[in-house]
Structure 1
């Protein structure tokens, strides 16, 4: 700068803002939380939304028993973005958070505390025990509520729903009574998943599968009858096997071999199953090694495809046996077998019963022997085979609640399958040893396979036959609500396809396939903390007898009245039976049921006491959205569907949105033992909740997401770029007044192109939020902010904003910036709740102001201008060629800044050339001058391969450098103000 030239910096319209580039989110976010609390923002939104169409996301209740993990943060943030975006799109978007408070996890924690103090839960008064469970849940609800609020989640936090509230317990009981009264409730005895550690039945949703090393045994069952045909019990004279009876005589010396991974179930065997579609053969042992349980001359019945593997497991090579003949299904159907322990000394005839051969479609020849050992009390397929034949009187009750053989079982009484810590007990080894003793094994081994475990205790479970209460899903529901079907299953399947939209669509397939084949719903649990099955059974009657269940509306009403006032504890108080039965019944003639409801029935009932029952629920009791993780297709989505189809005749939701699981940065499942977990609290303390929310928005939540230090660093970088965009707008809009506003029709083309892009984005943003596509919304906005704005529009218009006086084009640019500000802050507010509030308050401060009290601005349809957009696509392509050419000169140190250049641009296409001549292309390229020509491109011109027909020849700008705007122009120094160009001279006045 010449000595006599003034310093013009102070005359520039430089950005003015106190908005800091450094966010300081961990420290500042609590201040905004306190502010929202003070102004009561959730209730103000409800007041402001009066008359709007309601939109309700029904919260799937988290469990009140520990600090939040990263999956909780993902889940609640997605929900919050759904609620906030729909509110800002003109709905009355309600969100009532809730908690699951009953059930085994909490009860288990209290039991652990008891064991640590040497106390026995069974010696504690049940109401006192339940009160301890309630206090435990209350403590964790307070902790989790604060942790959720810290993430910026908006909702009715001061009045959440709790499954243990008295009102909720009353309605859960009331909905259970609907199953009682409509005829779908029954007591049955069938095998269920049973946890020996927790001593309760488990639902499929409470099961997870882990590798488990099991014993494998090959057991021969001796054929004892076949040629002398005896009609199997329950069959008629047309029994198909009668004609094959004589043909089976030579099988009397044979043995049917089964294979199982559960030796402990052998004492409960009642049949052996085969499949008529499998080819079977009779095999004879002709030789044997020294170490072998087989004997020469032994004959075995085996599936042909598996015979080699079976006999090899018995240490026989293919020279030591021969195949004698085919064995037909008709022949197998005539055979009766002996239990391996039949006639054993000391068994007192316990196993001296016939073991029939039965056909079953579940039998395959993919593994095993082609025959399946059938213990109907310990297997689902086994049970169904006996159910089909009406053989329920043949069920066994040999195993107790701690997986111990009961006292009446010879040899094995008291032995456990699994001990109280989930470790293998003595049952399997002892059964195997006894089989060896009686000649009941031909081979044994070990196999590692996927095995069911309780997701709470992580201990293996067993199938065990116990009396349980069920909801029949194929029995007609006698409630008259048959629009979508007469049974629970029909209603559910119809709802899935006709009433619910699925995001992603694969969620439909998962739930449909599960409900299509699922068995009846096991409602009962043998625990203490929960809502009891509020029903009574008549003493001296069987579950199948008429009058077994008491169905009386007056009794039901007394129960509900007590629950409303005292909670479910009323069921356990002294004199409860007499109180509820009243004077209409003799209490001595009735048993009170003390099983508690499956906790999934609790959470499945929440639609009743949140959507239907609350004044801020929904008019029809149906939620607009249920949103949970993909595991809830077998959990909350599933139980809510079954419960609602049994009580209101249809699904309780219109949309189901599903997210995947959260993995570490390498794609591994998070585990404390691996040390790869990331706690939301740690992220919030280091980066702030908005960074965690931005991570959610950037991820495809419908699949599994990864999170780790490097991923969070990348997220923070994206945040900084967005923050810089917002900061630029704030600075450029300093002192913007309504009088500065310019109508779109009076704006330069560049500004009208920005408005066109906003019109496109408005459609994309609204559609994306409506479809819960947060990744699509954020990517569109982020690309717009960083590419279209920061790298293009802002870059170009900085010169006008800083250096122009009160010109039309500067006022037009500031008008566009104001329009941009209102749209970007509101469009991003559902994601970056704290940052957009900070940005908004920087312009529109005030005690009652908040971006979250505003809606997305309406965008005029006439802002869309496709011809203009096509023209500016061409302009931007040419600009890319120019800026790339100048970057080469900058890299080679020929120039330091693009304003030192005045390139010549050769354009082959006449329309593109005309487009470039119609705009200030030198301003667009941020050069001091530019020449446009249709002349052929010189050989030395710079070209980009992807932009055909544009060549750039570099030339330096001629003239002097304006000391105010830094353009190099010939007229600099010829005006009133020293060292300025004409534009700057005019601006200075």
Structure 2
């Protein structure tokens, strides 16, 4: 707002209080941010904050426990979102007065790293099985160490603070010791057992997988309709569950009559449908729905290329019969429905496997198949019958487990590499998957054999969602294998029964004691916990913490003496792990070393399976929160924060593990965020070329732009990011930066002698203080609720609308042109109060920029905004009546500025100071309000007239401001060459071409 000059007038530019700051308009974040990182490193910011809290002694602790990322690759945008959210939580809690701790960590064990080492071996022609296991594990450790260093630098580059000098690693010796110790608690409290049941198995990786290690993708599968011949009826129908029971001569006659009526079922076929032909060799039963309607269908004619023949009879669910026969290429002209088939009749049938009696089968499938009702049969798809291979399906397994018939139905036909056992007739040595995870030759072999023996009615292909390993990306299978489990419905023998006697009961109770953000997280974990099976703890791999237990040779898993439970043995194992790490378990002589002199090593088998990595990460609370001095006083985390997929992952395993070992949840709060999609809402994929890499964003814009994007999105759902979205974020950043730059310039040379007490301030300044008090509450409650989007929106709107476009716009004249007046001192006092609050309120988000702003005003080797708390805001700044009054003032101002904008657009005026409008106000109270303030200054005009006279027709009206109209008039007088106002008194004072105010300011 410098004055225009002519040859005949003085140049008053140097007499103005123009902004003074070196704070640049262009941020240059990509180049400058690393300098601040280095500065923070030298200042030891995180350590100094912990020391500060310890000295104060009264700061309430807050611990965010880091869900460990996996140490095997560069960061993706999901990592950035997660770590930035965590950092905003920690920083905001710290600056609100708490002792906020954050120890970063890494998941270091498990299949993905092992898989990478195996890939390296394959390229070199080496066989993993020929390498010493300890040497192999050392290579895995070295691989993880390399990626930890890379990821640590990438996380720090995002401005994330924490104990980077001493993170937690699941492969640290101390951590491996405590993981083993936590496992031993399951061993000792009676929840550990060995069982043989179907688990998700990766033939490519040769290991069991947890649900959290599985992702679902579309897969093309073979689908077949297979015929099981009715071979007869249950023996004498005596005592058959659900069948006909004979007890008298009369009933025998009824049975004979029933058998005669069922003769037309002899030789008919029950048809099943499956998308896993490879499970047919392991079939042991067929089940049906007890309450469905079934019928007997007869083929009356056939088209060409059909596997059915005239006279064939099929038993099918009526609801599905038409579809099934259609799949067999039979139109409605080719078949007829003969009669109903009752559940009582079904219960009396005996079925024959389609491969029974096949030449070369060696009697493998000659036994009759079990046939009974089951509640998991559906008539929504298929045939109304389900073929059961209990070794490859949980529902079938559970059915026969509950019947006590597992010994009769479990098979071991499929080996760990997904091939059939070599001696299995017809199919031995064939593979379900090839070595790259594609379709093997097993399905085709089974289908071809079924065609050969006449066991197939139809076949086809189907695309459906199917489980895949999230590492190898290959399909998985259900396979019955001996595994180690934690029983979640068995009473825990640790005496801690206040939360329930079983792990499931404890977990379901604890879920309701946790604060969930968003609240839907509670329901998701609760439903999973209600339905989940026992926890599969074992993996048949090498890189991890072993299941540190011994089993007695020759004993059955059900025998009391099967597992060795000895505290002395456990202690020797833990001592070795503390000193040497888990490698000690695999070293020569380990069994003898740990058993000591108390047991004969020849009588015991050392279990060499490793623990599920989710047990590792689920145990982190034990060796981070509970074990470290800088962990948590009570061993609990105030917050776990991860993506929604962790309801079945880390949140889940941590709850199970903690409830199994200490009876309660390891966390008080859980926050979940969604996934990051591209700008169109599509999942990011390298093949699609739509990935946004954090490192590239940082190089182009700076980390603060990425952090600002995180603060702007609703993280509770899926978020979108793309080039245009980032451009918009950068624009928001520039607007905020301009706000901070204005304050820095206006506050040049401000000191305590300039400060004015709120009671002595003009109304406009007291209105700003009122807004600060409101915002202080909004910011603190928002940060406490992790509502970063709400906090940022409130601050951004305040900074750009209420400050830049209103308060700053009005007060520029006072700041630039006044002398040392009370109102200028009041304005600068308010700017100082604004500065301290905006910098600390925004520091958790814009960590680099707010540091730059802070240091511009408070330079010094020890200075940092991140060593500062958010200042307390006096409650008496709140002034609701004043706020209501100024709401009316701002509303009327909108009508005036809109009217002047019309004149500016029409080039009637060049600036608002050329105007002296007449404002007609209908409401007397509004008129009184406007007359009580310097409304011309509020509207940035040289003069203004307020009247209650009726509005003339030509008056400007703004529809949303009812009762206020504006008639444009030009200002009367000469232009002050210092402040540019047009006033009648210009030129009548001591200083040429100035108004009274400016002449006084010049002295």
Q: TM exceeds 0.5?
A: yes
Asked if 2 retains the 8 angstrom alpha-carbon contact of 1:214 and 1:446, the reply is yes
| Correspondences of 1:28-43 after superposition (within 5 Å) | 28-43=32-47
Partner residue, 1:768: 782
1:116 to 2:116 alignment:
no
How much does 1:292 deviate? Answer: 1.0
Asked if 2 retains the 8 angstrom alpha-carbon contact of 1:875 and 1:915, the reply is yes
Partners of 1:229 and 1:491 lie apart in 2 by: 49
Partners of 1:228 and 1:543 lie apart in 2 by: 34
Partner residue, 2:812: 798
How much does 1:678 deviate? Answer: 1.4
Asked if 2 retains the 8 angstrom alpha-carbon contact of 1:226 and 1:249, the reply is no
Q: Secondary structure of 2:198's match?
A: strand
How much does 1:672 deviate? Answer: 0.8
Q: Secondary structure of 2:957's match?
A: coil
Asked if 2 retains the 8 angstrom alpha-carbon contact of 1:960 and 1:968, the reply is yes
Report how many residues are paired.
988
TM-score by length of 1: 0.99
Q: CA RMSD in A?
A: 1.5
2:404 to 358, 381, 390: 390
2:440 to 425, 431, 436: 425
Partners of 1:358 and 1:809 lie apart in 2 by: 91
Partners of 1:300 and 1:364 lie apart in 2 by: 18
Partners of 2:863 and 2:107 lie apart in 1 by: 35
Partner residue, 1:814: 828
1:951 to 965, 985, 991: 965
How much does 1:233 deviate? Answer: 8.5
Partner residue, 2:460: 445
Partner residue, 1:733: 747
1:634-667 C-alpha deviation (Å, 9 max, x unpaired): 1111111111110111111111101111111111
How much does 1:489 deviate? Answer: 0.8
Partner residue, 1:598: 612
Partner residue, 2:150: 143
1:844 to 858, 863, 881: 858
How much does 1:628 deviate? Answer: 0.3
Partner residue, 1:400: 415
Q: Secondary structure of 1:584's match?
A: coil
Which 5+ residue runs of structure 2 have no aligned equivalent? none
1:751-784 C-alpha deviation (Å, 9 max, x unpaired): 0000000011001000110000100000000000
| Correspondences of 1:226-265 after superposition (within 5 Å) | 226=233, 228-230=235-237, 246=259, 248-265=262-279
Partner residue, 1:491: 506
Partner residue, 1:127: 134
More divergent stretch after superposition (541-550 vs 153-162): 541-550
Q: Secondary structure of 2:483's match?
A: strand
1:337 to 330, 335, 351: 351
How much does 1:330 deviate? Answer: 2.1
Partners of 2:262 and 2:168 lie apart in 1 by: 67
Q: Secondary structure of 2:634's match?
A: coil
1:630 to 632, 639, 644: 644
TM-score by length of 2: 0.97
How much does 1:946 deviate? Answer: 0.9
Partner residue, 1:581: 595
Partner residue, 1:415: 430
| Correspondences of 1:309-348 after superposition (within 5 Å) | 309-348=323-362
| Correspondences of 1:182-201 after superposition (within 5 Å) | 182-201=189-208
How much does 1:419 deviate? Answer: 1.3
Q: Secondary structure of 1:466's match?
A: strand
Partner residue, 2:798: 784
Asked if 1 retains the 8 angstrom alpha-carbon contact of 2:430 and 2:441, the reply is yes
2:96 to 89, 106, 109: 89
Asked if 2 retains the 8 angstrom alpha-carbon contact of 1:227 and 1:249, the reply is no
More divergent stretch after superposition (233-242 vs 420-429): 233-242
More divergent stretch after superposition (280-289 vs 914-923): 280-289
Partners of 2:343 and 2:493 lie apart in 1 by: 43
Q: Secondary structure of 1:494's match?
A: helix
Partner residue, 1:679: 693
Partners of 1:450 and 1:204 lie apart in 2 by: 15
How much does 1:4 deviate? Answer: 2.9
2:380 to 363, 366, 384: 366
Partners of 1:578 and 1:217 lie apart in 2 by: 53
Asked if 2 retains the 8 angstrom alpha-carbon contact of 1:98 and 1:161, the reply is yes
1:6 to 2:20 alignment:
no
1:660 to 2:674 alignment:
yes
Partners of 1:965 and 1:805 lie apart in 2 by: 12
Partner residue, 1:869: 883
Asked if 2 retains the 8 angstrom alpha-carbon contact of 1:226 and 1:251, the reply is no
How much does 1:812 deviate? Answer: 0.3
Partners of 1:156 and 1:819 lie apart in 2 by: 32
1:525-544 C-alpha deviation (Å, 9 max, x unpaired): 00000000000000001111
1:606-639 C-alpha deviation (Å, 9 max, x unpaired): 0000000000111221100000011111111111
How much does 1:290 deviate? Answer: 2.2
1:694 to 708, 718, 739: 708
Partners of 2:280 and 2:872 lie apart in 1 by: 72
| Correspondences of 1:921-932 after superposition (within 5 Å) | 921-932=935-946
Q: Secondary structure of 1:937's match?
A: coil
More divergent stretch after superposition (324-333 vs 544-553): 324-333
1:242-279 C-alpha deviation (Å, 9 max, x unpaired): 99874644322321100000000000000001111211
Asked if 1 retains the 8 angstrom alpha-carbon contact of 2:638 and 2:668, the reply is yes
Q: Secondary structure of 1:721's match?
A: helix
1:746 to 2:754 alignment:
no
Partner residue, 1:833: 847
1:758 to 2:772 alignment:
yes
How much does 1:483 deviate? Answer: 1.9
Partners of 1:231 and 1:339 lie apart in 2 by: 23
Partners of 1:810 and 1:330 lie apart in 2 by: 97
Q: Secondary structure of 1:352's match?
A: coil
Identify if the C-alpha distance between structure 1 residues 148 and 227 changes in structure 2 by more than 3 Å, giving closer, same or farther. closer
